[in-house]
Chains A and B, each alone.
Chain A
């Protein structure tokens, strides 16, 4: 991430559920110059969707707020940061456990972070109580794993 980005963009949008599809389509479109496969595009869309949904459902919990999405390309890496100024996560490690959810009554599956981990190469979550959450994800495009 310290390398200078070859290309970058950022957008700020309202924490509304109708913007979930907007965010994942923008992120996917930004990556297209790396000529990703259909599967890689699906991976990025899913990961972005999960992170943005988390900000809306958990970070802001229905309250008004804004989400910042920053995307950059360094060599063949796509780096996507999703940042909110919501309530934050007290225990990040626990939140990242598969199937763990604080909102079972809203039918949250508890798979959000697991999907981000599964579909991206790197995932970092920075958060704390009342200090918002930043999810940073990285994926190498066009390289067989």
Chain B
């Protein structure tokens, strides 16, 4: 279903400010943040992620936190929203979250809904199983 204008399957797509980049590989989408995940970035990413999920038949979504050190409740809202979208057909994983972000994930109860991994490699390996 690829059109001529679509990026190659393993190519990273960057938005104009490179606050985040994403890569689709098969039915897996990796979103890698370069800016702190707050209300500003969540609003910027929401529609883009949903469009990629719908258009590319994504089932498994991995959020890569390895380059950032901050997330607030707006990030929780963003992840919860994608969880609702994918829970029946796939999974949500969180990779590379530092201690502060892990604390937010724990306090919010998000750890009960998503898988957490040390890095995206580990997350990808577990999704393949």
Residues of A bordering B, CB below 8 Å: 17-18, 20-21, 24, 38-39, 42, 45-46, 49-50, 53, 56-57, 106-109, 111-112, 114-115, 118
What 0/1 pattern do residues 16 to 46 of B give for CB contact below 8 A with A?
A: 0000000000000000000110111011001
Contacts of B108 in A (CB 8 A): 109, 111
Residue of A nearest to B40 (CB): A17
Q: How many A-B Cβ pairs are below 8 Å? A: 65
* Known A115-B72, A118-B107; contact A39-B100, beta-carbon cutoff 8 A: yes
Q: Which of B38, B78, B81 contacts A53 (CB 8 A)?
A: B38
Residues of B within 8 A of A (CB): 35-36, 38-40, 42-43, 46, 69-70, 72-74, 76-78, 80-81, 99-100, 103-104, 107-108
Contacts of B43 in A (CB 8 A): 17
CB distance from B77 to the nearest CB of A (A): 4
Given A39-B100, A118-B107: A107 in contact with B78 (beta carbons within 8 A): yes
Closest-CB distance, B123 to chain A (whole angstroms)? 23
- Assuming A42-B100, A46-B104, is B39 touching A109 (CB within 8 A)? no
Q: Which of B38, B100, B104 contacts A21 (CB 8 A)?
A: B38
In Å, the complex CA distance between A48 and B17 comes to: 24
A57–B72 CA distance with the chains assembled, in angstroms = 14
State the CA gap A107–B72 with chains docked (Å). 13
Question: A21: which B residues are within 8 A, CB to CB?
Answer: 35-36, 38, 40
> Closest CB of chain B to A22's CB: distance in Å?
10
What residues of B have a CB within 8 angstroms of the CB of A18 in the complex?
Answer: 40
Beyond A49-B70, A107-B80, 10 extra complex contacts between A and B, CB < 8 Å? A20-B39, A21-B35, A42-B100, A46-B104, A53-B73, A107-B42, A107-B81, A109-B76, A112-B73, A115-B73
Give the CA-CA distance A21 to B27 in the complex, in Å.
Answer: 33
* Residue in A46, A49, A107 whose CB lies within 8 Å of B77: A107
CA distance A46 to B36 in the complex (A): 11
18 pairs across A/B with beta carbons < 8 Å? A17-B43, A18-B40, A20-B40, A38-B99, A39-B100, A42-B70, A46-B70, A46-B72, A46-B100, A53-B72, A107-B42, A107-B77, A107-B78, A108-B77, A109-B74, A109-B80, A109-B108, A112-B73
